[in-house]
A = this chain, B = another copy of it.
Amino acid sequence: MAKRNILQFIILGLLNQQARTGYELTKAFDSDIGEFWSAQHSQIYPQLQRLEADGQITHSDEVTGEKLNRKRYAVTPAGAAALNDWLAADTEPTIGGRDEFALKLYFIQSPADPRLQHMLAVQQEFHTERCAHLQAQMAAKFPEGQRADNFGHYLVLDHAIRRETAYVEWLAAAVKQLAR
């Protein structure tokens, strides 16, 4: 899995869009970017420190209210260069992530197994709902083929929708071929 520390580039990419705090970066992984990567704050804060020590980002202190301090990070020219190097480098194609559910199905040999019905139904419900949620997002953010700006965002949303749609179709096809 992880090997070349992708996280640092994601942080650079996000900060390159706009200056952010560690907290805001953490939340970015809950929305659109969460479709293709995840990270917790316990990983992000140390990474920010390393990037700053490396001279790829800097921060300015901000105060909210009386005492609360937050650090707003921004990329340096060196950071922007590192980001561009990453973007320009060859990308090892993704070869299908890990899927515990698919794995379980693999070990159930018989299409008559009594557990299949329920297992498939649960997954179907989840992914169908998820699919609808993504389509709603798409409709909200890109109403009229408004893809010119934020093209990247559009592409990953489209990707997520296609992926979930294919997943739902796979589950439906599986259900259809169940018992007999």
Contacts of A61 in B (CB 8 A): none
Q: Given contacts A36-B99, A115-B88, is CB(A110)–CB(B156) below 8 Å?
A: no
Assembled-state Cα–Cα distance A86/B107 (Å): 11
Q: Could you give, for residues 88-121 of chain A, a 1 whenever the CB lies within 8 Å of some chain B CB and a 0 otherwise?
A: 1011111111111111111111110001000100
Q: Is A23 among interface residues, defined by CB-CB distance under 8 A?
A: no
B155 contacts A106, C-beta separation under 8 Å: yes
Q: Is A173 among interface residues, defined by CB-CB distance under 8 A?
A: yes
A106 contacts B33, C-beta separation under 8 Å: yes
Q: Given contacts A105-B152, A106-B153, A127-B93, is CB(A147)–CB(B98) below 8 Å?
A: no
Give the size category of A's interface with B: 35 or more
B106 contacts A13, C-beta separation under 8 Å: yes
Q: Given contacts A101-B91, A107-B16, A108-B87, is CB(A96)–CB(B155) below 8 Å?
A: no
A98 contacts B36, C-beta separation under 8 Å: yes
Contacts of A88 in B (CB 8 A): 115
A108 contacts B151, C-beta separation under 8 Å: yes
Q: Could you give, for residues 113-155 of chain A, a 1 whenever the CB lies within 8 Å of some chain B CB and a 0 otherwise?
A: 0010001001100110010000000000000000111111101
Q: Given contacts A96-B36, A123-B91, is CB(A83)–CB(B106) below 8 Å?
A: no
Assembled-state Cα–Cα distance A166/B164 (Å): 9
Question: Which chain B residue has the least Cβ–Cβ distance from A166?
Answer: B166
Question: Which chain B residue has the least Cβ–Cβ distance from A152?
Answer: B106
B109 contacts A149, C-beta separation under 8 Å: yes
A109 CB contact (under 8 Å) in B1, B10, B108, B152: B152
Within 8 A of B (CB), among A1-59: 1, 6, 9-10, 13, 16-17, 32-38
